[in-house]
Structure 1
Amino acid sequence: MATAPPKTAVKKKRGKSLFRTINDWLHLWLGLVSGIIVFIVSITGCIYAFQKEISSVTQPYQFVQVEAKPYLSPSALKKIAEQHQFGDKAGKPGSVINAVQYPGTGKAAIATYRDKQTGYMMVYLNPYSGQVLKAKALEKDFFRIVLIGHFNLWLPREVGQPIVCWATLIFIVLLITGLVMWWPKNLRKANVDKSFKIKWKATFKRVNYDLHNVLGFYTLIGAFIIAVTGIYFGFKWVPKSIYWVASGGKTMPERRGAMLSDTTAIPAQKALYSAEDSIWSKLSHEYSNTGSLSIQFAQKKSDAISASYNPEQETFYKNHTRLFDRYTLKEIQGQTLYNKSYEQGSGADKLVRMDYDIHVGAIGGIAGKIIAFLISLVCASLPVTGFIIWWGKKRKKPKAKPVAKATVA
């Protein structure tokens, strides 16, 4: 006589909550949609992390031997660079140097202008003798190409930058949904080891899973900071929101702006020194010939002279841009974030100004750059390891259900 198999107590497996189901679905499909973009942006960020350090070795024309004599004035270097680049057309419309920068002791001066065909041009000169050391189209520089990929995916700016920004915003959502998925259900030793340690001696599938989850957790905060400071450059509402929160509800001043000379009716006077040379001489003494000083030449009759000073070599947040009337040399107070010194800014001003240096890790010196590099490297790996996890589950064959056998009495 056949009898049914004895009943055994079976513990019903509790399914995922609706919240976890939606969270996991978002993590999967948002990751698949943005993965390749996140990989490109992260890997180019890794390459660009040590741009200054590598360029200082591969581009020796950036440096000169220090000499016991004064620098040539901006107008003198401007004239030399124009003759070198434009020949007989020097000084004519479209053949004019726009600015001269003195990057600091032991470094070559840089005369810059924009060319319709080659783009932004940089002419490196010995600031003591005026010798032209190198003329370079910035768009052909290796790190510039990497940076364009990082910002625009090598697409036109109006197309590529929104794609990068939205992909980065999606990445921020992925960090949050990933944390929800990672969070251990309890703190038993097995779960703790699974959440915080990589089991290197396990199968490739398990190691890949651990690399995605464990490394993702350890770099979560740093990746979040890098991502937020990254979309700062693409979404206008991001810096405005950060400033509004940090300032207690105040409106952020513009980051860039143009000021005009307020005495445009006064004709230009012929003098021994140009207005730009006078401003440069004044500021050089004021800043004791330290740091980087750049002079932007007035191109139109209504333009003001712009002078930018940065006391730091490796960071940009202390950069201070001052404006001067081109006729009277009277200082004009600008209205942007950078038209006052870093020390004079509010806490919100300082935070927004530090965004770029936080993004690249320069705010923490070489250690900060190394940390930013490692975090970016992990961020680049997450779409890869995540795709492998998804692909493995997709190809996994469902297990056949066991058939209960009847017992014969």
Structure 2
Amino acid sequence: MTARKLIGQVHLWLGLASGLIVVIVSLTGCLYVFEKEIREWTEPYQFVEVRQESLLPPSRLRQVAEPHFNGKAAKAVMYRKAGLSATVSYFDKESYLLAFVDPYTGKLLKVKDMNRDFFRVVLQGHYYLWLPPEIGHPVVASATLVFVILLISGLVLWWPKNLNKTNRDKSFFVKWKASFKRVNYDLHNVLGFYVLFIALIIAFTGLVWGFEWFAKSAYWVTSGGKSMPVVKPALSDTTLTAGAQPADQLWRRLTGGAQLQEGYISLSVPVKPKDVIRVDQNPEWGTYYKRQIRAYDQSSLADITPSSSFSETFEKAETADKIKRMNYDIHVGAILGLPGKILAFFASLICATLPVTGFYIWWGRRKKKKPATGAHRAHRPGQARPGSRPLRRPVLKDA
């Protein structure tokens, strides 16, 4: 077996084994790319009227939301950019509740069970195939790794032996007027080539979350040989006495109580004595790579942030940390704004079609008719037809 045939067999059987998973992950990725935009179009409770007055502190927003959390204390409060409502959240292993509150008046706009939210369900399929995380996560990660192999082997199979006009037409253009089988083959072959580069980027950024060894390897390469640091969680000093509403005090210190013009700021609510107040602050709406995550003692409000990829501003971060921070925005195309999201959407959509068109190519070849035999074999000149007596040479008698 030649190397090309061997690669073809690897491409075929790995594609058949992972095809359904690739379709599900790609389609759910398509749907999730424009999650923010679709929510803003379809969910009126995302918006509030901007007023020339101070915002309510986190404790007041919690008082509004917590009676609707089945007796549970809120876990975090988020203030979003001007014109958007604030959110108060409660989450554990079983439930995830999100309350939308007007940060000016304290009016409750909506309490949503996020386990029944459409995009939350889509994301669960994208991450875990709607299976328990301990099962679905490694399955999706493994299928993503197989997809990378399929993309590389597909490029080898696509590569033309020479670039004459016939091969160029076959490799770069879909022959729409040909038979359905030929169009299907071109859709697999040609579109697969055009989407290859973007699909590899999406797959590689997905593998960063899929395998810890891949994330560490990526960090080692981008940092010039440094190991990815292990982040130790910060703990509050339990010997200190907590002041009144420390989260409110911290929020005023960081924002002055004013409305954010862009981005968001989220403050966690400490429950246990050693819990810190975790502040997730982002100066830009629509991307996440500029966000900064810091930890504060719940009693003294001292900054006790452990060193991590997100502990500094994006501008001060090391190159490897910058790349790590951009991983999500690269994955969904948001790093390039709306054009990047459109590219990611169509790339994911084409990736979802590749297992389908590839399966049909394989199935069509299996059904190909066998060569004619017996009575249907083509007659050759000078050869007796099937079923007829053999021809005899005439016997010439001496004259």
Give the TM-score normalised by structure 2. 0.91
User: Are 1:38 and 1:167, in contact at CA under 8 Å, matched by a contact in 2?
Assistant: yes
Partner of 1:232: 208
User: Are 2:297 and 2:303, in contact at CA under 8 Å, matched by a contact in 1?
Assistant: yes
Partner of 2:349: 377
TM-aligned CA deviation for residue 83 of structure 1: 3.1
User: Are 2:81 and 2:259, in contact at CA under 8 Å, matched by a contact in 1?
Assistant: no
User: Are 1:199 and 1:207, in contact at CA under 8 Å, matched by a contact in 2?
Assistant: yes
Write the deviation string for residues 151-194 of structure 1: whole angstroms up to 9, x where unpaired: 11111111111111111111110011111111101111101111
Tell me the secondary structure at the aligned position of residue 310 of structure 2: helix
- Residue 189 to residue 286, structure 1, CA distance change in 2 (3 Å): farther
CA distance in 1, matches of 2:142, 2:18: 9
User: Are 1:101 and 1:294, in contact at CA under 8 Å, matched by a contact in 2?
Assistant: yes
- Summarize the alignment of residues 5-404 of structure 1 with structure 2, pairs less than 5 Å apart: 18-86=2-70, 89=71, 95-114=72-91, 119-254=95-230, 258-261=233-236, 263-269=237-243, 271=244, 274-285=245-256, 289-290=260-261, 291-400=263-372, 404=380
Tell me the secondary structure at the aligned position of residue 335 of structure 1: coil
Which amino acid is the alignment partner of residue 189 of structure 2? N
Tell me the secondary structure at the aligned position of residue 202 of structure 1: coil
User: Are 1:124 and 1:135, in contact at CA under 8 Å, matched by a contact in 2?
Assistant: yes
CA distance in 2, matches of 1:18, 1:292: 57
User: Are 2:270 and 2:277, in contact at CA under 8 Å, matched by a contact in 1?
Assistant: yes
Partner of 1:9: none
- Residue 115 to residue 306, structure 1, CA distance change in 2 (3 Å): closer
User: Are 2:242 and 2:300, in contact at CA under 8 Å, matched by a contact in 1?
Assistant: no
Tell me the secondary structure at the aligned position of residue 233 of structure 1: helix
- Residue 403 to residue 172, structure 1, CA distance change in 2 (3 Å): farther
CA distance in 1, matches of 2:339, 2:232: 34
User: Are 1:295 and 1:307, in contact at CA under 8 Å, matched by a contact in 2?
Assistant: yes
Write the deviation string for residues 335-387 of structure 1: whole angstroms up to 9, x where unpaired: 22112221111111010111111111111111101000000011000001001
User: Are 1:257 and 1:336, in contact at CA under 8 Å, matched by a contact in 2?
Assistant: no
- Residue 287 to residue 334, structure 1, CA distance change in 2 (3 Å): farther
Compute the RMSD of aligned alpha carbons. Answer: 1.8
Worse-superposed segment, 77-86 or 50-59: 77-86
TM-aligned CA deviation for residue 259 of structure 1: 0.9
User: Are 2:54 and 2:259, in contact at CA under 8 Å, matched by a contact in 1?
Assistant: no
User: Are 1:49 and 1:369, in contact at CA under 8 Å, matched by a contact in 2?
Assistant: yes
Write out the 4+ residue segments of structure 1 that deviate beyond 6 Å after TM superposition. none
TM-aligned CA deviation for residue 398 of structure 1: 2.3
Tell me the secondary structure at the aligned position of residue 332 of structure 1: coil
TM-aligned CA deviation for residue 258 of structure 1: 2.4
User: Are 1:98 and 1:296, in contact at CA under 8 Å, matched by a contact in 2?
Assistant: yes
TM-aligned CA deviation for residue 121 of structure 1: 0.8
CA distance in 2, matches of 1:253, 1:76: 38
User: Are 2:54 and 2:258, in contact at CA under 8 Å, matched by a contact in 1?
Assistant: no
Tell me the secondary structure at the aligned position of residue 111 of structure 2: strand
TM-aligned CA deviation for residue 406 of structure 1: 3.2
TM-aligned CA deviation for residue 115 of structure 1: 5.5
Which amino acid is the alignment partner of residue 268 of structure 1? A
Tell me the secondary structure at the aligned position of residue 112 of structure 1: strand
Give the TM-score normalised by structure 1. 0.89
Write the deviation string for residues 184-219 of structure 1: whole angstroms up to 9, x where unpaired: 011111011111111011010100000000000001
User: Are 2:80 and 2:260, in contact at CA under 8 Å, matched by a contact in 1?
Assistant: no
Which amino acid is the alignment partner of residue 176 of structure 1? I
Larger radius of gyration: 2
CA distance in 1, matches of 2:207, 2:323: 15
Which amino acid is the alignment partner of residue 78 of structure 1? R
CA distance in 1, matches of 2:338, 2:50: 25
Unaligned runs of 5+ in 1: 1-16, 90-94
Write the deviation string for residues 226-276 of structure 1: whole angstroms up to 9, x where unpaired: 11111211201112111100110001134x652101x3212324x4xx111
CA distance in 1, matches of 2:338, 2:309: 26
Unaligned runs of 5+ in 2: 384-390, 394-399
- Residue 287 to residue 225, structure 1, CA distance change in 2 (3 Å): farther
Question: Identity of aligned pairs, percent?
Answer: 50
User: Are 1:115 and 1:121, in contact at CA under 8 Å, matched by a contact in 2?
Assistant: no
